A and B are shown apart, each in its own frame.
Chain A
Amino acid sequence: MDFALFLNQLFNGFSLASLYLLASLGLALSFGIMRVINMAHGEMLMLGGYLAWLTLLVVPGGAGILLAVPVAFAGAAAMGGLIQTSLIRRLSSRPLDTLLATWGVSLILQQAARDLFGAIGVEVRAPDWLMGSFTVAGVTLPSARLFIIAVAVLVLGALALVLLKTRIGLLTRAVNQDRMMASAVGIDVKRVDFTVFCLGSGIAGLAGVMLALLGPVTPNVGQSYIIPAFLVVVMGGLGSIVGTTTAAIVLGVFSALAQMFVDVSVAQMLLLVFVILFIQIRPQGVVAVRTRQLDV
């Protein structure tokens, strides 16, 4: 009985880890390549959530949720591209200022959502095939959470494939490992920056669709996931994909298991304490990124 509860929470931990991973991959990618932090990254999740809701208004049902995935990806990627060209690129020599500027963007986007869709938020009705659950050996596995884990695994696999097997992936790794040399061999580093930023924002938009399956989409839904996402990126080793994935799993499972014993807010606090202790012992993160290297 107790063991079944443990397995249940372990499963919930993995689905939470999947959300953390989707929310933090974009942060890790753009930090790894540009050394900037986009404070409005959480709003890309929110945007993805609202785009999912809008898509389902037009195309209700199961097809709608599948259509929402590319729509949210493209919408968030476009918004990310806009932020990158209009703001981050212009502040590239002043990284601290990008923190403030993108924080401003975050507030603007939250207020815009409040004005457009209301402060209470909207509810996405998951299609029937995502409402059910499987019971395996006394453990209940909700379909929606299985779906989220599957999407996270697919996204991670696709990202690894892009980075390792495509031309843009090669260019991204080159810029990440030695920016000066990358420009000197003829790589348009600003275009690579832009592409990576759009890709990272798009993944966050995708994460927004997953959030919409679990709860209401509110103007500040991104805020509740951006803090864990930052923790994941810091613990993962600032820009490493392997490290980010490991850290997402550790933190997701940790927080789900902690919730067996304490309530959610205490679990959040324990999570923070855990990461602080971890960084004390291993300041370089799970995967040491010595210079500006992104290992895949």
Chain B
Amino acid sequence: MSSDALLTVSGLCAGYDQTEVLWDVDLELRRGEVMALIGRNGVGKTTLLHAIMGTRPATGGMLRFDGHDVTALTPHMRARAGIGFVPQGRHIFPQLTVMENLETGLCALGGRGGGAGGGVPGYIFDLFPKLYDIRGRAGGFLSGGEQQQLAIGRALAGRPALLLLDEPTEGIQPSVVQQIEAALAHVRDELGMTILVVEQYLDFVWRFADRYSAMQNGRIIRQGAIAEESAAAVAHLVQI
């Protein structure tokens, strides 16, 4: 195990009721890297993100984050330890305003960050200027692209060390996809954030990810460096 590992997943199993979805998953993320998690629908990518966040209990295995065993921690404790989550479907609080949604993200700072003091960090509005214009609107009334920006902004408000993203480009128009890409590159380069991103849109992740892991039937079946393999070479792992 290398010392620069931020997240180490070992032998992780998880599932729904009686159905196991993840089998003995091993995964390691180094500090500051972007890993793309790819695979067809239903192979367990989303479940893996939920198991890392703690919103889906693991039935076996261990999670180490930032040098600590977090396997037994609740989701809110993991969030406060520095894991940020942008789930599939975005899960914006529909009746909270954009600003209030962002403020909920500050809860992850609880006990951390040395009390830099209140408020949503301004750089989130630099990354997504649109959010500032619509800050008073209820989350439920936003378009898909606006909700996606808000979900990423909300996760960033908690200054996570690790950002989990589940299909950030799903159903989003190209101009917003570019903005999201620029934002993710920014937080990786400027803030040293580590990112684990589930994505079917390979050309998108191939533009900024460092490594990829491919899943099949609840297991990681292949890993590699983005620089060494073209998106076309692994496309068969994603297509039906």
Contacts and interface: CB of A to CB of B under 8 A. Distances in A.
B95 A181 contact: no
A189 interface: yes
B93 A178 contact: yes
Given A178-B91, A184-B87, A186-B158, A170 B104 contact: yes
Interface string B66-98: 000000001110011000010100010111100
Contacts of A174: 93, 96, 104
A178 B155 CA distance: 15
B108 interface: yes
Interface string A158-183: 00000000000011011001101111
Given A183-B76, A186-B107, A187-B76, A173 B55 contact: no
B103 interface: yes
Interface residues of A, number: 19
B211 interface: no
A185 B105 contact: yes
B110 interface: yes
A188 interface: yes
A183 B107 CA distance: 10
Contact of A186 (B80, B94, B96): B80
> For the complex, would chain A's binding face be called helix, strand, loop or mixed by DSSP majority?
helix
A170 B139 CA distance: 14
Interface residues of B, number: 26
Nearest to A188: B76
B53 A184 contact: yes
Contacts of B93: 173-174, 177-178, 181-182
Contacts of A184: 53-55, 75-76, 79, 85, 87, 91
Contact of B91 (A181, A187, A295): A181
B100 interface: yes
A293 interface: yes
Nearest to B160: A186
Contact of A185 (B74, B94, B108): B108
A184 B104 CA distance: 10
Contact of B109 (A177, A180, A186, A294): A186
A38 to B, nearest CB: 24
A171 B158 CA distance: 15
B219 interface: no
A181 B79 CA distance: 11
Interface string B54-71: 110000000000000000
B94 A183 contact: no
Contact of B108 (A170, A186, A189): A186
B111 to A, nearest CB: 10
B107 A187 contact: yes
B154 interface: yes
B87 A170 contact: no
Contacts of B76: 183-189
Nearest to A290: B94
A170 B103 contact: yes
A178 B87 CA distance: 12
22 contacts: A170-B103, A173-B96, A174-B96, A174-B104, A177-B93, A180-B91, A181-B87, A182-B93, A182-B104, A183-B79, A184-B53, A184-B54, A184-B55, A184-B85, A185-B76, A185-B85, A185-B104, A185-B158, A186-B76, A186-B105, A186-B109, A189-B76
Interface of B: 53-55, 74-76, 79-80, 85, 87, 91, 93-96, 100, 103-105, 107-110, 154-155, 158
Given A178-B91, A181-B91, A189-B76, 18 more contacts: A171-B104, A173-B93, A173-B96, A174-B104, A178-B93, A180-B55, A180-B87, A180-B91, A183-B55, A183-B76, A184-B85, A184-B91, A185-B104, A185-B105, A185-B158, A187-B104, A188-B76, A293-B94
